[in-house]
Chains A and B, each alone.
Chain A
Amino acid sequence: DGGITQSPKYLFRKEGQNVTLSCEQNLNHDAMYWYRQDPGQGLRLIYYSQIVNDFQKGDIAEGYSVSREKKESFPLTVTSAQKNPTAFYLCASRTDRLSGQPQHFGDGTRLSIL
Chain B
Amino acid sequence: QKEVEQNSGPLSVPEGAIASLNCTYSDRGSQSFFWYRQYSGKSPELIMFIYSNGDKEDGRFTAQLNKASQYVSLLIRDSQPSDSATYLCAGTDSWGKLQFGAGTQVVVTP
Contacts and interface: CB of A to CB of B under 8 A. Distances in A.
Interface residues on B, range: 20 to 34
B71 interface: no
Most buried by A among B43, B44, B90, B98: B43
Contacts of B43: 90, 105-108
B25 interface: no
A43 B96 contact: no
Contact of A102 (B34, B95, B100, B103): B34
A98 B32 CA distance: 11
A42 interface: yes
A103 B98 contact: yes
Contact of B88 (A42, A58, A97): A42
Contact of A100 (B4, B31, B88): B31
Contacts of A104: 46
Given A90-B44, A105-B44, A107-B42, A100 B100 contact: no
B97 interface: yes
Interface centre among B31, B51, B100 (most CB of A within 10 A): B100
B10 to A, nearest CB: 11
Interface of A: 31, 33, 35, 40-45, 48, 50, 58, 90, 94, 96-100, 102-108
Interface of B: 4, 8, 31-32, 34, 42-46, 49, 51, 88, 90, 92, 95-98, 100-103
| Top 6 A-B pairs, shortest CB-CB distance | A97-B96, A42-B100, A42-B102, A105-B43, A43-B100, A108-B43
